[in-house]
Each structure stands twice: as C-alpha cells, then as structure tokens.
Structure 1
Amino acid sequence: MASSVYVAGLGSGVGKSTVAVGLVELLSRQVARIGVFRPLVPGTGKDPLLTLLTERYPLIAGYDDSYGLTTTEASALVADGKWEELISRIVERYREVERQCASVVVIGSDFADGQQAGTDEMPRELGFNARLATEFGSVILPVVGGQGRVDISGAVRSAYHSLTDLDATVLAVIANRVPAGTPTPQGLPVPVWTIPEVPSVAAPTVAEVAAALDATVVTGGDAALDRDVLDYVVGAAHVPAVLDHLTDGALLITPGDRADLLVAASAAHSAGNVTLAGLVLTLGEFPDPRAVRVIERLNTGLAMLVVKSDSFDTIKAAGRIEAKLSPATPRKVEAALGAFEKHVDTAELARLLDVTRSARVTPLMFENDLIDRARADRRHLVLPEGTEERILRATETLLRRGVAELTLLGDPAEITRRAREIGVEIGGAHLVDPATSSWRDDFAEQYAELRKHKAVTLDLAYDVVRDVNYFGTMMVAAGHADGMVSGATHTTAATIRPAFEIIKTVPDVSVASSVFFMLLADRVLVYGDCAVNPDPNAEQLADIALSSAQTAAAFGIEPRVAMLSYSTGSSGAGADVEKVAAATALVRERRPDLPVEGPIQYDAAIDPAVAATKLPDSAVAGKATVFVFPDLNTGNNTYKAVQRSANAVAVGPVMQGLRRPVNDLSRGATVKDIVNTVAITAIQARSAASPPSPPPVSPSVSPSVSPPVSPPVSPSVSPSVSPSVSPSAQEQS
C-alpha cells in the first residue's frame, strides 16, 4: 500500500496550498512515483492547485485521474441522500491513484469549498475529511490559520483533539500565516510547526486582480502582471498627498482622467522612490495618449488596467481577492516553498512519513535533491552578471528557497533599477561594484603577484580585476565567496579563463574539465568532458575520468566508468583506441577500487543486452553511469544528440578539478538552468577547502561605498597545467 498523507485545512484561507506543495516537493526527493488526489474539485473550471501539481511534477496520474468527484456531482448525491455512495465513489477513485504510486498526497476540501460550490447541505468538512482519511488509510496533517490570532495554541489543540475524537491519525499540526514572532504551541504528542505570514504568498498578483475585476490590460506584459499586490492606494487627492501614501507593492487605483497622478506615480516608481505593483484606472476611462507616451518613455515595466467600476466599488472588490498558487504564479510557488522549507522540519516530517527512498533516481528527484542539499549547508556564491534579467529572476528564486547567500556584481543602482523594472525582489542579495569596491586594490596586488611571470604590472592588474569575471574569481580565491557562476552573457572562455589563471587545479590533477548531468526519463548519467578540452592525452583523459567519478559520487550517483571508444575491448586498433586503453590503465592504477571499463563502445556501456554479448564478465558494461568521451568533438555532439533525441535535460557544464568551484552557463541558459547550476556550485563548495570567512558583505546599494573586509587570503600558485580554452568554447555549451 502506498504511503498516504491527507492535508486538511481547518477553515478558509489557511494556506493549505502552501503545505500541499511543500509536501509534494519533499516527497519528490524521495520517491519516483508520487500521486496527488483531491476528493472534490469545482464543477466548472479546473482546480488551480491540482492543475499546478499535475503540471509541475511528473505524477503517474494526470489531472482528470487525480480527483474523486466534482462538487456538482457531490451535491446531487447528497441531495438524494446518497452519502455512502458519495464516499464509496471517492474511495474507488482514490484507490486507482494509490495502486500506481509509492506515495500519495491528498488535499482535502475546506469550509469555503462547499459554500462556493453551493453544497451547503453537505456535512461539515471536518468530519468529511476525517472520514475520507480513515477510508484511505491516510495519516492526516491539519492546517490551522493563524492570521489575526494573538494566541494560536487553542486553535492548534482544538484541531488535534477534534480529529483524534473522529478516530483520525494525526501526523503533525501546522499553523500557517501566523504573525511574526508567534511562539510555537507546545504540549501535544505530535510535532507542531508554525509558518509566518509571507506577503508575497498571501498577496494576489496584478494578473489575479485583473481577472477578478474583469479589467482591460492597456500596458504591461507577463512580467508586469506577475507582480505581487501588497497594498491598495486610492488616488483622489492632489499629487503630493498621493505620493506620500504610495508604498512598495501598492496598486494605485484612480480615475482614468487623472493623468497627473498617473505620470507622477510612474515617475516616482522609475526614480526608485517607491516600487509599485501597477495602475488601475476606474470609470472605464482610458488615459490620455499624451500621458501614456510619457509613461512609456519612463520604462516603468508596470501594468496599466482599466475597469468599468468606480474607485469605491473597485477597492471593495479588490479587497476580496484571494491569492492562489497556480501554474500562472511561479514566483508565488517558490516563495511558498521557501516558507515551508524554512519553518517546517522537513527531515523530521520525512521520518514521520516513513517513506523509503527509491533506488531509482528520476530527473525531478535529482533536481529537487540539489536544492535540498544546497539548503542544508548554505554557501556564499558570487554571480558576476548582476544586471542580467535571468540572473535577477534566478536570484529571487534562490533567495526565496534559501539555497545560497548571493553577491551580485555591477553598479548597485543599475542592479536595483533593473530588478524594480522587471518586478523581482532581491533585497537579500549583496551588491558590489568592482569599479568602486575597496577590494579592488587588494585584488590588483594579488593578481599582479600571481601573474608577474606573464609581465602583468600593477596598473594592468588594476584594470583586469575591474572585469566582473576576474573580480568574482578573485573573491572566490580570497575567501570572500565560496564559488562563482557566470556565462549567461559571457563566453565560456571569458568565464573560466580567470579560474585557470587564479584558482588553478587541485593537486595531482593535470587538467580541469567538465561534465554534464544527463537527466533521462528513468536515470541520471554523467558525461565528461563535453565542453572544455578539445583533445586530451591519455594522462589528461585519466584525470577527466577520475574527476568525473568523484563528481558523480558527490551528487549521489554510484560511479561506474565507461572509457568510450569506437572499439570494445580488443575488437579494434588505432591511435585513438590505444589512447583510451592507456587512460583506462592509469585509472585502474590510481583507483583500483573504482569500477572502470575501456575501451568500450557506447552501446555496450549502456545496454545490458549488448554488454552480455561483447563484455559478459564486465562490472561496468551495460550499467555504466559515468561516460568519458575520448575528445571534445565526440562528447559535445553526443550530449546534444541525446539531449534532443531522447528529450533529456542536460545540466551543465559543471566544472571539476579546480581548487574552488567556478561554473559556466550557456548563454541560452534558462532561469531554471541557473538555479540548478548555483545549487550544484554550492554543493561543490562544501567539499572544497575554504579559508575562514570574512565579515559579511554589506547589502548597501550605494555604488561608492564598499564594505570593510579582512585582508584577502592569497590564492595559492600551483604548478599544475591549465587546459587551453578553445576560441569557440562558447559554442560548445
């Protein structure tokens, strides 16, 4: 029988969705087959939470197979007195999901669901949810709303005892949306966790407001509509008075003929005096085109909506809008996950659920495990491309999930302006301008000393370290950051050349290299080297194999190394085969405990049937997890062929062999790619030797002030050989 947990909200607006998403995210790291189930969904339209979960996670059952009945069907059964038939039909549908899954998260109804669906005659939801949890064999996780409560202890105890009186097995109790600083209730025989109110989760987006008010969108794209509405301000007074009342995240509601207020509010937003959510024009009046042209020149990035109602009715209707987690609110989902993971003991919750981790690693499990492992031991990483939109969006996600401490490089005023323009929150990031930082003098001295054999003078070094990639690499070398991720707007050469010059390779490794994690449908493979070394010799190829095996093991993949060639065993001959054979011999000599096979063809390495014919006694053939390609041409083409033809996700390139982690992004990297790469870099940093950390960087956005720091630690100069970077390296990734 599948492990099953039933999430029951005790009341309306308690934030049950946050807990449900957090639970599914937690289980996605443990098991390959997760199911979600909702006993009842709306009779018209799709349930936004169930839609989110079935789209975000590769569940066995799709939306149409993941619920019991619609509220319309349930109402008809209750009206006919067929209560037991209602229960029976829901249980039957649940069993169909359960049979396919290792674990199921059930999201129960709350009191508002029935009223909104017109099912007032239905028994109260508490008894309904408790009965279903018992029939499903589920433990129950009640969610209590803490908003507006000074003391939530009574509500938590009442929830626990009410459910146990109904013979439900309570796993734990979660109080959500509690005021900041509220103590966690004590005295129950099960764990109690409290999640504070998170404005970015509880607040509706501009898009949700527009939909609820049936508004016409005059200006603003998806990014503008995705902004969180934290406050409402009605503009009816003169300009100075309205400006005094504008707050960050406010939606300005004003008649469409108040061009003065529209221009003034837009200018205040553009100047950085306040960060608005958007503009709503009432009475169905569209703004004067001359005012619109001025606002467009300000490049605010704000949405402008027009509604038919007056200001009073508009503000009244807006106040009733409830935010919902859905596929259309990805930033809100990340904020909800961040709140859940920060305030709920997920390790204890996983223990209580008693879910055995699957031996099979799916792509989703791998990606979610990256986030979890990075969060467990947060590191400080530097992102040199601080004004790039994808970097800023990834920064918001990383900060909300607590993945790493981040420093963004660039002019702080420009970074904050750009973040405000696209509507992202990066308040937790440190901002450092290489041009004005007090570190620049120290870094120049260190770099000049390090490269004096290349005739680098102090004046030249002073100019070099102003470059964001060199500055970021010097931060890593000096211990001000644990790792660096760049390449969204820079070439591979521009990103990793500073690392080769400054950080160098680890002892006994002749060459730095890279791997891609290839996320296939049912497993994760490691491919190396597909991005850095054009034609490694036998010794370098052996180093690449050893580094790749170490990287695989660090990320939970048991290394079984295939040294690839066009020949398996002794079936072929030639210089290329001899190189691979020599490299394999070196790997076996240096790591006799490591399963390695070579030369071996790809089909014999991955397919058990082929392996049984070509190398029947091999411990690697047919079950290899680490694939080492003989040259860059073969590796780069193979990973891209597998990526496209097998619909695989390629995560990387991930650099290896350096003393400190520096990773390169493809210039086509998505926000998700950046998040994954930062998490990987943070995990790599855990195993890298680090000097004592200096005082934290001040988050001040003043471009002319750099924080006081301790003297940088001199980066070690290693006699190790750095690989050359192909001039077209940026095209390789």
Structure 2
Amino acid sequence: MTRCVYLTGIDRGDGRQVVELGVMELLTRQVDRVGVFRPLVHDGPDRLFELLRARYRLSQDPATVIGMDYREASAIQAERGTDELVSTLVDRFHQLARDYDVVLVLGTDYAATQLPDELALNARLANEFGASVLPVVGGRGQNAESVRAEVRNAYRAYHGLGCDVLAMVANRVSREDRDEIAERLASRLPVPCYVLPDEPALSAPTIAQIAQALDARVLLGDDSGLARDALGFVFGGAMLPNLLAALTPGCVVITPGDRADLVVGALAAHSAGTPPIAGMLLTLDEVPGQEILTLAARLAPGTPVLAVRGNSFPTAERLFSLEGRMTAATPRKAETALGLFERHVDTAELAGRISAPSGDRVTPMMFEHTLLERARSDRRRVVLPEGTEERVLHAAEVLMRRGVCDLTLLGPADQIRKKAADLGIDLGDSQLIDPATSELRDAFAEKYAALRAHKGVTVELAYDVVTDVNYFGTLMVEEGLADGMVSGSVHSTAATIRPAFEIIKTRPEAAIVSSVFFMCLADKVLVYGDCAVNPDPDAEQLADIAVQSAGTAARFGVEPRIAMLSYSTGTSGTGADVDKVRAATELVRARRPDLRIEGPIQYDAAVEPTVAATKLPGSEVAGQATVLIFPDLNTGNNTYKAVQRSAGAIAVGPVLQGLNKPVNDLSRGALVPDIVTTVAITAIQAQTSADRTESVPAP
C-alpha cells in the first residue's frame, strides 16, 4: 500500500513551505517514486509544485497534482454536501497514489477558501487517504506561551478527529523563544515536536519579485543580482555620510533617481563590502545620466538598479506589504529553507516515523541526499583554494546554507569579499585566508622545506612555494587546520594533487594513489576506477586500485562486487593485457579473500545478468558488479565519459583514494552541484580518515 504523509496547518501564515520542502527532501532520500497531491487549490500556477518538480526532477504530470479548485469544492459542498466532496477527492487521490511508493499531500491553505471548518476537512481527508498527519503551527508575532498552547491544541484537534499524528511542527517562532518552546513541548506531547525559528531571508522578497510587483524597469543588474533577497529597506534623502551610516547588509536603498551622489556612494560601499547591499530602487521616474550608470556598473557589476514612476512614500507602502515566496526561480531560498529544516528537525527520527517503503533502487538524487546528510552529521572543515572563483563561491553558499561543513576559502580576502558581494553571496562565518599575508606562511615554509630537503628545497624557496593556494591548502590539511581540500575548478589535476603527493603522501598500505568515479545511473550507483590518475598500472598496481576502490565503495554505501574488466571473459582470451588483469585478480583474491571479485570479464558480462548467465554462469559477481576496474586510463576515462554523456549518468568525482588525508580534484568544467557533492564526499572521507585500513565488511 502506498505510504502517505498529509502536511497541513491550522491557519494561514504558518510558513509551511519550509516544512513541505524539508519533508520532500526526506522522502526522496528513501524512495524513487514520490508523488505530490494538493486536494484544493486557488486559481493560478502552483508555485510550490513547480519548485518541487524542478528541484527533485519529478516526472509527475502537473494535472494529476490537483484535486479541484476551491470554487468547485464550494459548489459541491453547497449542492451535494461534504460527503460528496470528500468522496470525489478520495477518488482523485487514489488515481494518483497507485503510481507512487509514497505521496506527499499538501493540505488546504486557509486563505479565503469559503469552506467551513477547514481543520476538520483536512483531518477527514487524511483519514480517508490513509495518511499520517504532520500539522504545522505558525508562531510569528506570538509569545512562547501562546505558541505552546496553539501547538497542544492543534495536536488535540487532529488526534481527537482520529488522525495518526506523526509529529508537530511550530514554525516561525521568535529566535529568542525557540529553545524554551522546544523544551517545554517535548514534555507535553506524546509525539515529537520540532520548533523552527523565524528566518527573515525566507519571507524577504527577491529583487526580481520587487521589480515584478512594482512594474519597475531594470536599469542595471544580472540574473544573479536579481535573485538576491531584500533583507531591509533604507530610504535615502539626506547627505551621503548619513546614508552610508544607515546601510545594512542585504538592504535595498530607495532614493530619488536624481540623487546621483547617493547612487554612486551606496554602490561604492557595496563594492568595498561595507556593507554589501541587495540593490537600489530609484523613484520619481528619474534616471541618472549614462555616465553615472556606466560608473555604477563598473563599481558593482551585477548589482541591480531599478527605477519606478512613483515617489518614495507609495513605493514604501507597497514594499512593506510585499512578502517573498519560494518558487522554482528562487533556489537560494530553497537552500536556506532546507538548512533551517535540517538544523532544527531530527530528520533521522522523522524519517523513521514516516517509514516510507524502500527498495534496492538508488537514484542519483538519493545518493546525493545521503552524501549531504552524512557530511552534516559530523561537520568537518574543508579548505577551498580557489576562493575567488565564481562557481566555488556559489557552492560555498549552498554548503553554508545547508550546514554541510565548515569552510576555509583561500585568496586575497578583499577580492573574495568583493566577488561575493558582486554575486550577492552570503559566506556566513566562512574563514578567509590570503596565503601571501597569512601568519602561517613562515611555519608552512619551514614545514615544506623539511619535507622536501632531500630535493634541495630551502626555506627561502619554500617561502615562495607555499603562497601557491594548492600548496597552502594542502599544508593546512597536513597540519590539522583543515580536514580535507577540494580544488581543480580552475587548476589542472597535476597542480591540485602534486602537493598532496609531496606533503600528505600515501597511506602505508596503499601502493599508489588512484581515483574512482561514482556513476549515478537511473536506478543504481556504480563505482569506476581508475579513470583519472594512473595511465597504465601494472598487475600489482591494478590489484591495489581494486582493493582501494572496494573500500571506497563500501564507505559510501555501495556493496562491493568487483569486476576486473578486459576485452575477454574468463579463459576465453589470451595476451599481455588479459594476462595483466588475470594476475591482478589473483593478487586481490590472495590479499583479500573476503572480497567478491571476478576477472577478467567484459563490461556486458559484468553488469547484465542475461549476458552473465551465458558467459559466466554461477558467478556471484557477473551480471551484478558494482565496482568496475578498468585496465588502463585510456579505457577508463573514455568509458566513464561515454556512459555519462550517452546514458545520462551523473558522474561524481574523481574521488582520490590512497592518501593519508583527503584531497579531491574537480573537473575544470565542474558545475556548482558537482562542487557541492565533491566537498561533501571529502568531508565524509575526513570523518573516517582516522581509520588507516582499507577494510571492507565481509559479504
């Protein structure tokens, strides 16, 4: 039977989208087929479903999401009664539910619905759907005692109507009261209660939303700038020094368009990062001259400047009534919401209470979710040497908002701050270090000179070498000032990993450093090695790569069944290349008899059961291999790229293995999600770096 979670509230204004997004994140970690059903909707596009569909790559037909609109519901209830309304919605729910493992139902929104006793209607629908209920209570503007009373009353109401209440959520509570509310409710309710503080960035409109609401012209600014959150408004009419003193991070400066001095001054302050503003809104239908706009664009590239026809007072009235919403066009709000949810909700406990059915399928999204969750469970510090690179900064913001790990960014601090300000990125409490001016430079130079003295490296020479961001970052890892390093978005593989070879070096039990890619296919994750480091490993090295790759696979939740790939299967072929693979296979069996391994074997026999039944009947690896070891770099690199491009697989890596401490390389074409995932993998490697063995659980 399809599992169903009914997420509902007791009144409007509860900020429920945060919880809806967080629960969808939990469900997509557990199962592949997640459906969404909204029994009743208002006219217009369903913004939340569009967000969920874009973020979680849902294939569900939008027409199946909606039960009916409120006008149809009111008419049915008035003419034929509540029983007929409920019966119709139940039929439409079950038409959807049969196609999914779990369905997330989004309850009514209590906004001008003209339906009597909406709470009772939500409770009845949940019961008829066979759903467990997760009620959300809004606490904005209420004191602690009022929030506690509303949560208890909401629980009694849903429980009293026969609902299976999973947990309670109090949302948008005062940050000052959050801990007290959570403590008091924990002892007053028979189910868990999660308390989320109010997060201003979630209700703050983006600059794009302001432009749309005010029908403003966009004079300057790019898409990234228009996506910034407006965290406050500062009205400029006084002299420039007074305006500068009033600026706050993330504010929108509102000033008459003929005040060119305030325009230039505010954008210059933004460029200096003191403080970074969200943008400017010019009133009175006045626009500065082209020379001022050109200067403004150079001072703060990408920062939006808007113009409206009205004066400041009516503009302010409209702005203060404007509330931002999460949509598919506001991915940064989604990251903020998920970070808030994951910090204040015991996700493991809630996932256990939901108990969504799980299977053997592991989708790319499920794998990525698991990585982020594992990294977050024991936070580590990862150093990112390419601190001024735009993709790295965007990834750093995602990692900070989601609470995945602590970060150190290397590079001139003023350049990093300026670049982040230009991109509208909040780096939170990320550590910024300039290797050239760092107080660590002297000690690192002495350390590196001592390590490389046998190569004739002097302290004077080392003093220059350690200003290279990759050398500096690697030394931070070696000295325990960071737990791992990720680089390579603008540096070559050699520039990224050479310092690790020289400074961190290989583990005693590892003959070489090698790499794997996690190949996320539609229904499973395979491990490919080595596709990035060793051009032509001999039999001994190939065996080492296999053992290391099996250890990496097991560490990341992939049960290792090793296929040693060749152009022939079993004893059907001969030749130096096949003999190398055969010898490597025997070395692995001798060294690690607990590992399941087959080789030499062709790719099709390794992964396709029907082919395996013909070529290697009875093999416990053939047809179900999860770790595929390629005989050389030429074969491995081309195969992973062919599968990535032709089969639509997501390739996560290369992940380096065999080093004493984790350092990982990025492709120079890496996208922001690739960087986020690689940093999460590095953090997980750092969690287990104290374990110096490559042990793999026996099957």
TM-score range normalised by the length of the shorter chain = over 0.9
Using structure 1 for the length normalisation, give the TM-score: 0.91
Q: Matches of 1:322 and 1:130 in 2, distance apart?
A: 29
What's the CA shift string for 1:528-547, capped at 9, x where partnerless? 11111000000000011111
Q: Which residue of 2 aligns with 1:571?
A: 572
Q: Counterpart in 2 of 1:489?
A: 490
Range that drifts further, 243-252 or 56-65 = 56-65
The residue matched to 2:362 in structure 1 has which SS? coil
**What one-letter code is carried by the residue in structure 2 that aligns with 1:85?**
E
Which residue pairs with 1:706 in the alignment? none
Partners of 1:266 and 1:331 lie apart in 2 by 23
Q: Tell me which residue corresponds to 1:345.
A: 346
Deviation at 1:89, TM superposition (A): 2.5
- Residue 284 of structure 1 aligns with an amino acid whose one-letter code is D
Matches of 2:367 and 2:467, distance apart in 1: 37
Paired residues for 1:146-157 under 5 Å: 146-151=139-144, 152-157=147-152
**What residue is the counterpart of 2:474 in the other structure?**
473
Q: Mapping of 1:90-129 within 5 angstroms?
A: 90-112=89-111, 115=112, 119-120=113-114, 122-129=115-122
Give SS of 1:456's match: coil
State the alpha-carbon separation in 1 of the partners of residues 478 and 61 from structure 2.
Answer: 49
Distance, in Å, in 1 between the alignment partners of 2:9 and 2:28 is: 22
Tell me which of 130, 135, 142 is aligned to 1:137. 130
C-alpha deviation, 1:518, in angstroms: 0.5
Q: Distance in 1 between matches of 2:640 and 2:576?
A: 24
Deviation at 1:50, TM superposition (A): 1.0
Query: Does 2:39 correspond to 1:39?
Result: yes
Letter in 1 for 2:43: G
Quote the Cα distance in structure 1 between the aligned partners of 2:135 and 2:597.
51
Q: Which residue of 1 aligns with 2:64?
A: 65
Cα pair 2:581 2:600 within 8 Å, conserved: yes
Kindly tell me: are residues 131 and 309 of structure 1, through their superposed partners in 2, closer, same or farther at Cα, counting changes over 3 Å? farther
Asked whether the 8 Å contact 2:268–2:300 carries over to 1, the reply is no
Residue 242 of structure 2 aligns with an amino acid whose one-letter code is A
The residue number in structure 1 matching 2:695 is: none
Letter in 2 for 1:35: G
Partner of residue 378, structure 2: 377
Asked if the contact 1:257/1:288 (under 8 Å) is kept, the reply is no
Alpha-carbon distance in 2 for matches of 1:109, 1:406: 40
Q: Output the CA distance in 1 between the equivalents of 2:122 and 2:288.
A: 50
Give, as a single letter, the amino acid of the residue that structure 2 aligns with 1:108.
G
Match of 2:397 in 1: 396
Post-superposition shift, 1:37? 1.5
Match of residue 719 from structure 1:
none
Report what 1:720 is aligned to: none
CA–CA separation in structure 1 for the residues paired with 2:593 and 2:116 = 68
Distance in 1, matches of 2:77 and 2:173, equals 35
Check the 8 A contact 1:479/1:690 in 2, yes or no: no
Query: In the TM superposition, what whole-angstrom CA distance separates every residue of 1:569-613 from its partner, at most 9, and x where no partner exists?
Result: 111111000000000000111111111000000011011111111
* Residues 627-669 of structure 1: CA deviation (Å, up to 9, x unaligned): 1000000000000000111011101001011111100001111
Q: State the distance in 1 between where 2:301 and 2:81 align.
A: 57
Query: 1:204, CA displacement in angstroms?
Result: 1.4
The aligned counterpart of 2:696 is: none
- Structure 2 residue identity aligned to 1:143: V
| 8 Å CA contact retained: 1:588, 1:596 | yes
More deviation, 229-238/173-182: 229-238
Contact 1:36 1:59 in 2 (8 A): no
* Counterpart check, 1:514 vs 2:515: yes
Partner of 1:364: 365
- Report what 2:21 is aligned to: 21
- Cα deviation, residue 399, structure 1: 1.0
Retained in 2: the 8 A contact 1:61–1:97? no
How far, CA to CA, are the matches of 1:431 and 1:680 in structure 2?
22
Give me the whole-angstrom Cα distance separating, in 1, the residues matched to 2:69 and 2:391. 40
Q: Could you list the per-position Cα deviations for residues 49-107 of structure 1 after superposition, in whole angstroms to 9, with x for gaps in the alignment?
A: 11111222144523222221133433443454554333222222211222122222111
Cα deviation for residue 300 of structure 1 reads 4.4
Matching residue of 1:731: none
Q: Which structure 2 residues correspond to residues 34-433 of structure 1 after superposition, within 5 A?
A: 34-44=34-44, 46-59=45-58, 61-78=60-77, 80-112=79-111, 115=112, 119-120=113-114, 122-151=115-144, 152-182=147-177, 183=180, 184=182, 185-186=184-185, 187-433=188-434
Contact 1:536 1:630 in 2 (8 A): yes
Question: C-alpha distance in 2, partners of 1:322/1:47?
Answer: 17
Q: Could you tell me whether the CA contact under 8 Å between 1:38 and 1:50 is conserved in 2? A: no
Give the number of aligned pairs: 684
Q: Distance between the aligned counterparts of 2:172 and 2:667, measured in 1?
A: 39
Name 1:721's counterpart in structure 2: none
Q: Secondary structure at the match of 1:651?
A: strand
**Alpha-carbon separation, structure 1, partners of 2:13 and 2:520:** 38
1:456 is matched with: 457
Matches of 1:215 and 1:146, distance apart in 2: 33
Deviations 1:375-433 (A, max 9, x none): 11111111111111111111111111111111111111111111111100112211111
Distance 1:263 1:109 in 2: 47
Tell whether the 8 Å contact from 1:604 to 1:614 is kept in structure 2 after alignment. Answer: yes
- Paired residues of 1:43 and 1:72 also in contact (CA < 8 A): no
Q: How many angstroms does 1:197 deviate by?
A: 1.2
Is the Cα contact below 8 Å between 1:485 and 1:665 reproduced in 2? Answer: yes
How far apart, CA to CA, are the structure 1 residues paired with 2:78 and 2:253? 46
The sequence identity of aligned pairs, in percent, is 58
SS in 1 for 2:39: strand
CA distance in 2: counterparts of 1:602 and 1:297, whole angstroms? 55
The equivalent of 2:585 in structure 1 is: 584
Letter in 2 for 1:52: L
- Deviation at residue 559 of structure 1 after TM alignment: 0.5
Change (3 A) 1:6 1:491: same
Name the amino acid aligned to 1:596: I
Amino acid paired to 2:149: G
**More moved, 80-89 vs 215-224:** 80-89
Q: For 1:464 and 1:268, locate their aligned partners in 2 and report how far apart those are by CA, in whole Å.
A: 35
Matches of 1:660 and 1:616 in 2, distance apart? Answer: 41
CA contact (8 A) 1:482 1:690 kept: no
Q: For residues 445-478 of structure 1, what are the alpha-carbon distances to aligned partners after superposition, in whole Å with 9 as ceiling and x for unaligned?
A: 1111111111111111111111110111111111
Residue 36 of structure 1 aligns to a residue whose secondary structure is strand
**Contact (CA 8 Å) 1:215, 1:307: kept in 2 or not?**
yes
Paired amino acid for 1:107: L
For 1:727, the equivalent position in structure 2 comes to none
1:109 aligned partner, one-letter code: T
Contact 2:221 2:301 in 1 (8 A): no
The CA RMSD measured in Å over matched residues stands at: 1.6
Query: Take 1:396 and 1:690, find their aligned partners in 2: how far apart are those partners?
Result: 30
For the residues of structure 2 that align with 1:511 and 1:354, how far apart are their CA atoms?
43
Q: How does 1:492-503 map to 2 (within 5 A)?
A: 492-503=493-504
Q: How far apart are the structure 1 equivalents of 2:43 and 2:382?
A: 48
Q: 1:356 Cα deviation (Å)?
A: 4.3
In 1, Cα distance between equivalents of 2:301 and 2:128 = 54
The separation in 1 between residues aligned to 2:71 and 2:470, in whole angstroms, is: 59
Moved more, 470-479 or 79-88: 79-88
The whole-number CA distance in structure 2 between the counterparts of 1:208 and 1:105 is: 28
Mark the runs of 5 or more structure 2 residues left unpaired by the alignment. Answer: 693-699
- For the residue of structure 1 that corresponds to 2:652, the secondary structure is strand
Of 48-57 and 544-553, deviating more is 48-57
Contact 1:60 1:100 in 2 (8 A): no
Larger mean CA deviation between 282-291 and 560-569 belongs to 282-291
Secondary structure of 2:425's counterpart equals: coil
Rounded to whole Å, the distance in 2 between the matches of 1:501 and 1:375 is 30
Q: How does 1:434-449 map to 2 (within 5 A)?
A: 434-449=435-450
Q: Which moved more, 1:88-97 or 1:647-656?
A: 88-97
Whether contact under 8 Å (2:2, 2:101) holds in the other structure is yes
8 A contact 2:537–2:631 mirrored in 1: yes
C-alpha contact 2:77 2:84 (8 A) present in aligned 1: no
Preserved contact between residue 54 and residue 62 of structure 1 (Cα < 8 Å): no
